[in-house]
A = this chain, B = another copy of it.
Amino acid sequence: MYRLEEPTRPGEVRPGGRTARVRSAVLTAVVDELLDHGYASFAMDRVSARAGVGRTTLYRRWGSPSALVRDLLQSIAEQTMPIPDTGSVEEDLRIITQALLEAHLDQRLQATIQGIIAAAGCAPEIDEALRTFFQSRATEAAVVITRAVERGELPPGTDGVDIFRMLAAPLCFRLLVSREPVDQAVADRTAAVILHAARTGLFTTPDAQ
């Protein structure tokens, strides 16, 4: 999940053709620009040069640095996230936690996310896009919890969205705040703590799905 889109190779045919190729090249350039200069010094002209896409196209299609960053977030959201259905909530959570761990170990992706988070501090519409991005991911993943409730593995009213917040939080905390490494042991303990609490009913809310 959360993979960064690779630029299309010459000769490779992609659904969407030229439009999709331009978007891919531009979003790769947006990542490079965020990593090299940050949002505070973001320059549309450098994105145009990096991507090999004319300024006119860039301005007509995106219009602003904020729109570029929001489209980057959208492209990350379009990447496949595993929504497992193994019949066991423990195994489903293990698979999702593993995907979260791999996303956190991807340095370019993490640096990009940090760049987007910094940008959200400057631009309210990016702040809003980040909120929407997280909410839609968590809502998708919450189906795993809904199924577990239907199977009787978790108590009725278990709040799947909050479970995914708490699954993701310790990994994010280490990368963003305490600046400590993330590894399998962190992911495993987090999943175990959350699952145990969920089984006990600590994640039930009156208005959960």
- Where the two chains meet, the residues of A that have a C-beta atom closer than 8 Å to any C-beta of B are 38, 40-41, 111, 113-114, 117-118, 120-122, 127-128, 130-131, 134-135, 138, 162, 165-166, 168-170, 172-174, 176-180, 189-190, 192-194, 196-197, 200, 202-203
Which B residue sits closest to A178, measured CB to CB?
Answer: B134
The docked-state distance in angstroms from the alpha carbon of A122 to that of B37 is 10
Closest CB in chain B relative to A131 CB, distance in Å: 4
Please give the count of copies of this chain that the complex contains.
2
Given A40-B40, A169-B170: A130 and B193 within 8 A (CB)? no
Q: Is the CB of A190 within 8 A of B166?
A: yes
Which B residue sits closest to A119, measured CB to CB?
Answer: B118
The docked-state distance in angstroms from the alpha carbon of A131 to that of B138 is 28
Q: Is the CB of B174 within 8 A of A172?
A: no
Q: Is the CB of A177 within 8 A of B170?
A: no
Given A40-B38, A114-B121: A166 and B178 within 8 A (CB)? no
Q: Which residues of B contact A169 (CB under 8 A)?
A: 166, 169-170, 172-173
Q: Which residues of B contact A138 (CB under 8 A)?
A: 178
Identify the 4 closest CB pairs spanning chains A and B, nearest first.
A169-B173, A169-B169, A134-B178, A193-B197
The contact of A165 among B38, B166, B168, B173, by CB within 8 Å, is: B173
Q: Which residues of B contact A176 (CB under 8 A)?
A: 117, 172, 176-177
The contact of A172 among B131, B172, B192, B193, by CB within 8 Å, is: B172
Q: A169-B170, A169-B173 are in contact. List 6 more A-B contacts (CB 8 A).
A: A128-B179, A165-B178, A165-B180, A169-B169, A192-B202, A193-B203
